[in-house]
Structure 1
């Protein structure tokens, strides 16, 4: 399995690195807005559509090659030379130059001169969505195969972070999980080793499923590595977990799906684009997805990566089905993938609806219905043990779990939370909870956020907003509030809904033990406005009349002209006898007993013309 090491490049990150001179040139050439708005402009659907309409055929072919053959990888200088050799140097380099001048592709250069080309990852996503116009075939007599439900990955991640939410995970001197923790982790991961191991290879420290789940938790920020007095520890990041598990099942599934795209996409540069293709519809004909890319790449002069597609269909799709995202089935030798509960979407958390979320039993079991948002489940888990994760989730309030919750969250949250779930709480439950929470009071550090409203009117509205009672902890003065950490998403969404801008400030108190690298080693985005002659220096020595005039030439000059047109892949406007052709290409020049004969390719046909019968001719260059 290939594992790409290319850094993640976004439009905003690349634009930050180019100098003002290049930005001004690109902005003037393409009508870009101010620098801080250009990323949003380039990612907009209208910009993509207008740019596609304005592109030359060479630019479109090069774009397809970048999107579906290079993907989340770098196009090296040598790869570009090979592609140009296999297709047409002029077409390939004019297409690349056009994309660079449009601000879609950028140049990376190492200090010692090595060159590579990249297209920002987020820009790739919007362009693939525009080009990939797969329509699900109709009339195909296939039926979905029902399968046994499997534990959903997002529920498994919830159970893991819930298990370690109150205490950090101490690591060994080697910086890995101790065997006691690993055995407990293995018990919480219900997936077979072979399912994950076929895609995500194990390393020397962990099995494939341990490493895969740990990678997801670190990628989402639910776990983070810190330095403690006793050594390195993994600690659950409550704020990041609250973001991950905000909203209902569909929202959580979409966030975990994005983490899967990032982690699995890192294993092969073409996987991110293939995974994007699955989200086109609730049910996808994967063969049609492949056929569409095959047709696009054929027009660009190449073929799909067969090995990558085989790995995706044979290993990645079963993994997605095994993790609960959907299921695969075949019909007439075609592979289909169907989403479980609908395809992921990047939707915001909807406004809270007042409905019953669950029940508080006299046995002190808290039953949460499927409609209960995941942030409520996370808040309940602060005070209760997670007992079951079937359709109805069961939490159990115990003396130890309640005291753990009080230590980390305070006693006031529990009452508000249980009232929100059911309303009136059984008196026996309240009595027992009061006993557990009573006694000698301890000094409590609580996790809250400080909110300063812009004026008193906004503060009065916030205090009186009934839907935010669970999130607002206390009003301190005229404009200042304390907000429950788990409820900050709801408050922020409500403020933004009323057109009140929200700004966040402050840094984490703790610093991570290991900081992620932010720059590709040795590479730097180059700030040079491209010209076609820089990629094809041979064009500088071409006589202007070859592409300005349509005329006849002396035999030696004509032979030289046609020979260079063959080497560079230049199309010609050609006259022979009384016939005239456009887009003729020289494929062969041979000498037969002192007589030169030229083979031309025109619209898929081939013809041989003696050199002396060639009449007027002209090169067709992109800038002529």
Structure 2
């Protein structure tokens, strides 16, 4: 669940309560809300600095060990206590503090088990603030012998656009099993660079693994869950309104959205890959780094040994995936692997003002640069054939491509307008004009059209409709006294107009026959996908989301007073918690028994040194009693058995109440 989805779940009162937490004081003073502050690197860094140490330790332990995957509460409590050496009370209070300040959230399974999770799109930023990957860039002189490693790929957004083009040209039809025909699958897969083999390192669970290769499944899943592609009964449909906005985005924003999507969604099943993906998102573009340094950072952070292969497989697998998305380049120099993040994959100054203009050659060849307007690319995919699609994309106008454009409703004037607008010119080369005139005329000489029949129960009703000012323009042709031909494109609009006029018409077929909408000439208009509201939304994806929590019961935030966590708190002498004091052996045992009851630590003064001690259990023998527990000494935590004469002063540490000494 992303931060925006979580914010929609929270009430205004809960959002305000989160921002009252001490860690968010800086963001609060700047007037920021949780949604903004939790995504701001500066505010997150400051909030973590202000956070109580036991909360920060629990969060660091959870992110390191589980990544963005939801965790059963009891498992996290046990794991954090073992890994962090915090007392049971500190771990419990740490979890509650994180829930109260908007770092953790919770849902309940049907049998009552509580799951804790971090926002999916908060993991990368938060984990890198707690477990930073600080790689040293390679010096320029060490890159003299650098050679490319692996193939250079197009940006993932261009691959996604190529898939939309092939789907639209295929007619969007699905088989009786609800999958794409094999011929369409083959056409789409040839337009993808996404590394099929490397995707298997993510351990994705594909809903149609027998029908789709992993690369196609991931692309369809991305398109459907981003709302760009709708799956209806028997066919797909492009969500024109969302697609138009996506095509119109600046290149940096569009790619950044996809980087976040791929990293946040498809790495959840492998915590090592999730951390590798988070680290790469923090690296600046252009600098080269040793792949071994990334692997060693991950292995050290996760506690793996030198001979363990898991960190290597995770790093090399993710690098291969993001390279096939066009976001990373890999090379080999001085007998070692290196990589760098490409500038095109990070937010920068690239925007609408730097769009490449289309180059039109007299022979009908069209050249589109890497920053060509995506809405233009979309239209070129219909009206021309792709000759090559690498750094530059080469198209060629052909008789067949122009004919299919005419079939999709394009005219000579419309095609000419697209090319002139895309090239920034007022006229086309005469040879290109001649091609378009000839081919559009030939394609339009004979035409078979599919229409919808509107049947009236009487000639009188048909006459009434013909005279209705809102209905008449949508009636294409009167075929008889009671039957009108209606364009499939106008069917939905006619149905609404008839209903507004007091008539109910039967449902028209869902596929309107035009699978390739013109989004370039209509760019930014309010008519794109008008009236498609009943189909808007998100279709079921192709990849099972193992981190999904939306189907569980949402647990509302609740404030619990400190007394709930420490029974009998008011009856315990305050000096036991506030001051280091010397006590009789019997009183020392009472303090330890109380600490064991509360599952908290004690502070001891031993030979002038202050140490934290987490008692585990009291042991009794012939010579008296002793306590076994963990000494929390920085760099040297250890288990010890202490007798009451082995320290001079003591106090109980109550998280959130005891002041440091």
| TM-score normalised by the chain length of structure 2 | 0.71
- 2:182 aligned residue: 179
- 2:405 aligned residue: 405
Task: Work out whether residues 226 and 513 of structure 1, in 8 Å CA contact, stay in contact via their aligned partners in 2.
Answer: no
- 1:71 aligned residue: 67
1:380 aligned onto 2:380: yes
- 2:465 aligned residue: none
Q: How does 1:452-601 map to 2 (within 5 A)?
A: 485-486=519-520, 507-508=532-533, 510=535, 514=539, 520-531=550-561, 534=564, 544-563=574-593, 565=595, 570-575=600-605, 579-586=608-615, 590-591=619-620, 593-598=622-627, 601=631
Q: How does 1:584-623 map to 2 (within 5 A)?
A: 584-586=613-615, 590-591=619-620, 593-598=622-627, 601=631, 603=633, 604=636, 610-612=643-645, 614-622=647-655, 623=657
Task: Work out whether residues 64 and 297 of structure 1, in 8 Å CA contact, stay in contact via their aligned partners in 2.
Answer: no
Superposition deviation, residue 115 in structure 1: 1.3
Deviation larger for 365-374 or 593-602: 593-602
- 1:207 aligned residue: 213
For residues 586 and 392 of structure 1, what CA distance do their matches in structure 2 show?
67
- 1:159 aligned residue: 162
Superposition deviation, residue 61 in structure 1: 1.3
Superposition deviation, residue 233 in structure 1: 0.7
Superposition deviation, residue 430 in structure 1: 1.2
- 2:340 aligned residue: 338
- 1:312 aligned residue: 314
Superposition deviation, residue 97 in structure 1: 2.5
For residues 343 and 42 of structure 1, what CA distance do their matches in structure 2 show?
26
Shift in alpha-carbon separation, 1:543–1:487, aligned structure 2, 3 A: farther
Superposition deviation, residue 308 in structure 1: 6.1
- 2:471 aligned residue: none
For residues 248 and 13 of structure 1, what CA distance do their matches in structure 2 show?
24
For residues 160 and 187 of structure 2, what CA distance do their matches in structure 1 show?
13
Shift in alpha-carbon separation, 1:139–1:582, aligned structure 2, 3 A: same
For residues 332 and 324 of structure 2, what CA distance do their matches in structure 1 show?
16
- 1:61 aligned residue: 57
Shift in alpha-carbon separation, 1:83–1:286, aligned structure 2, 3 A: farther
Superposition deviation, residue 85 in structure 1: 4.0
Superposition deviation, residue 270 in structure 1: 5.5
Deviation larger for 31-40 or 381-390: 31-40
Q: Which digits, 9 at most, give the CA deviation of each residue in 1:345-388, with x for residues without a partner?
A: 24586132486x24322322222244533332223223222222
For residues 330 and 597 of structure 1, what CA distance do their matches in structure 2 show?
60
Task: Work out whether residues 298 and 311 of structure 2, in 8 Å CA contact, stay in contact via their aligned partners in 1.
Answer: no
Deviation larger for 564-573 or 153-162: 564-573
- 2:2 aligned residue: 9
Superposition deviation, residue 581 in structure 1: 1.9
- 1:495 aligned residue: none
Superposition deviation, residue 114 in structure 1: 1.6
- 2:124 aligned residue: 125
- 2:436 aligned residue: 433
SS in 1 for 2:376: helix
Task: Work out whether residues 149 and 324 of structure 1, in 8 Å CA contact, stay in contact via their aligned partners in 2.
Answer: no
For residues 602 and 538 of structure 2, what CA distance do their matches in structure 1 show?
62
- 1:465 aligned residue: none
Superposition deviation, residue 521 in structure 1: 2.1
Q: How does 1:216-231 map to 2 (within 5 A)?
A: 216-227=222-233
Aligned match for 2:46, one of 25, 45, 50: 50
Superposition deviation, residue 39 in structure 1: 1.3
Task: Work out whether residues 581 and 650 of structure 2, in 8 Å CA contact, stay in contact via their aligned partners in 1.
Answer: yes
Count of aligned pairs: 559
Shift in alpha-carbon separation, 1:350–1:404, aligned structure 2, 3 A: same
Shift in alpha-carbon separation, 1:51–1:428, aligned structure 2, 3 A: same
Shift in alpha-carbon separation, 1:274–1:488, aligned structure 2, 3 A: farther
Q: Which digits, 9 at most, give the CA deviation of each residue in 1:466-504, with x for residues without a partner?
A: xxxxxxxxxxxxxxxxx9743677789xxxxxxxxxxx9
| TM-score normalised by the chain length of structure 1 | 0.75
Superposition deviation, residue 288 in structure 1: 4.4
Deviation larger for 34-43 or 92-101: 34-43
Superposition deviation, residue 506 in structure 1: 6.6
Task: Work out whether residues 215 and 263 of structure 1, in 8 Å CA contact, stay in contact via their aligned partners in 2.
Answer: no
Which 5+ residue runs of structure 1 have no aligned equivalent?
A: 1-7, 448-482, 493-503
Task: Work out whether residues 409 and 446 of structure 1, in 8 Å CA contact, stay in contact via their aligned partners in 2.
Answer: no
SS in 1 for 2:168: coil
Shift in alpha-carbon separation, 1:445–1:266, aligned structure 2, 3 A: farther
Task: Work out whether residues 100 and 530 of structure 1, in 8 Å CA contact, stay in contact via their aligned partners in 2.
Answer: no
Query: What is the root-mean-square deviation in Å for CA atoms of aligned residues?
Result: 4.4
Which 5+ residue runs of structure 2 have no aligned equivalent?
A: 450-475, 477-486, 491-516
Q: Which digits, 9 at most, give the CA deviation of each residue in 1:51-105, with x for residues without a partner?
A: 1231122122122123222221112122123124413213322322222232222
Task: Work out whether residues 75 and 116 of structure 1, in 8 Å CA contact, stay in contact via their aligned partners in 2.
Answer: yes
Q: Which digits, 9 at most, give the CA deviation of each residue in 1:213-250, with x for residues without a partner?
A: 433443444432112xxxx1123444444444446765
For residues 148 and 139 of structure 1, what CA distance do their matches in structure 2 show?
20
For residues 226 and 15 of structure 2, what CA distance do their matches in structure 1 show?
33
For residues 171 and 92 of structure 2, what CA distance do their matches in structure 1 show?
54
Superposition deviation, residue 547 in structure 1: 0.8
Shift in alpha-carbon separation, 1:416–1:530, aligned structure 2, 3 A: farther
For residues 353 and 189 of structure 1, what CA distance do their matches in structure 2 show?
26
Shift in alpha-carbon separation, 1:489–1:137, aligned structure 2, 3 A: farther
Deviation larger for 369-378 or 511-520: 511-520
Shift in alpha-carbon separation, 1:242–1:264, aligned structure 2, 3 A: same
For residues 303 and 57 of structure 1, what CA distance do their matches in structure 2 show?
28
SS in 2 for 1:527: coil
Deviation larger for 233-242 or 116-125: 233-242
Q: Which digits, 9 at most, give the CA deviation of each residue in 1:371-409, with x for residues without a partner?
A: 533332223223222222144322222344334334345
- 1:134 aligned residue: 133
Shift in alpha-carbon separation, 1:242–1:255, aligned structure 2, 3 A: farther
SS in 2 for 1:225: strand
